[in-house]
Amino acid sequence: MKICIAILFFIFMAVPAMAEDDLKISGVIEVHYRYSHDLYANEGDDKFLPEELYLQFEKNIENNIGALIKLDGSDMNNNSATHKYVEEAQVIFRNVGNKPLTLIVGKDEMPFGQDYERFLLSSRTHGLEIDKVWGIHGNYELKGVGSLAAAIFEKDAENNEDVGLKDSFTVRAQTSDLLEGLFVEASLAMLGKDASKAEDDEIRLNAGASFKMAALTFHGEFTLIADYDNSPGRDLAVLQFGADYRLNELLLKARIENSDDDLANQEELRAAVGASYYLSSKTFVALEYEKVSKEGAGMDSDEILAGGSFKF
């Protein structure tokens, strides 16, 4: 499926019917300065890194058909294969059959979880998203109710695992029409096993919600995974709660997250606080602190982050 990348580049550059104003270019630049100790000591206590260097090209091919490529320049520091710089590469079909149905074919983030994140310090919940995979993803809008999304995808295709497109799937239902300010979602996913290894299918259940009241937003999410990482008998449960408060250009934020990993027989508690100051609707700077507590002596760690994000 990686040949889709070359095909999409050809679409952008070689279809003569496309006018120049059909091409939309956007991007994100996000940089971090991090200071940490204990758990992160082996990675260095003090580091500056580009977390996101996204450049996105989107173009209409014809009515209701578009193409998109999203590149991540931050991966170029990792000596990765060239195709790993491609965050997304897809063809998008809108209003399929004159219905409120959108189909996305290519490399994309699959529909799973609430995807609510206001911190630059990524949470474990956010890390459980299913992204940078090749698949087919459909989303159907139900007027006055919400939406239903489903996908089949090729898990870890870049690692040449023996897992096909039909072996992994996700399903998600979500709505913001039950009550003003309330958003609710529920997701189910299966990440197929590699038939050449001693693995089991990984099953994920997820439920999340957020509730906005004027300047204050509460959010919560729970993820339960059976046979995590396709390891038989290894279960993982992650529960997160948080709140954000917007005061003019200042966003105050806090979250707490507990995870229980059966394989390690260990619970982990993460607590984070932070503030973001918005210079514009697309630009902000942030200062954040996170404390990570684990069972056992000497297992605690903390991290301070100063960073910023600019979208264009």
| DSSP calls for 255-297 | EEEEEEETTTTEEEEEEEEEEEEEEETTEEEEEEEEEEEESST
Predicted local distance difference test score (pLDDT) of residue 159: 55
pLDDT over 90 percentage in the chain: 59
Reduced to 3 states (helix: H, G, I; strand: E, B; else coil), residue 273 is strand
Predicted local distance difference test score (pLDDT) of residue 267: 86
Element (H, E) at 230: none
Predicted local distance difference test score (pLDDT) of residue 264: 65
Q: With 50 as the cut, is the pLDDT of residue 41 above it?
A: no
Note whether 134 and 107 are within 8 A (CB): yes
Strands 236-247 and 216-226 turn out to be: antiparallel
Note whether 147 and 177 are within 8 A (CB): no
Predicted local distance difference test score (pLDDT) of residue 205: 98
Domain with 300 in it: 3-311
CATH of the domain at 269: 2.40.160.10
| Mean per-residue pLDDT of the chain | 85
Assign 14 a pLDDT band (cuts: 50, 70, 90).
Answer: very low
Number of domains into which the chain is organized: 1
Tokens (6 digits) for 199: 């693995």
Average pLDDT value for residue range 239-268? 92
Q: What is the pLDDT of residues 275-288, one digit of tens each?
A: 999 999 999 999 99
Partnered with residue 66 across adjacent β-strands are: 60, 92
Predicted local distance difference test score (pLDDT) of residue 61: 85
Q: With 70 as the cut, is the pLDDT of residue 138 above it?
A: yes
If one counts every other C-beta atom within 10 angstroms of the C-beta of residue 297, the result is 6
DSSP classification of residue 44: -
Q: With 80 as the cut, is the pLDDT of residue 160 above it?
A: no
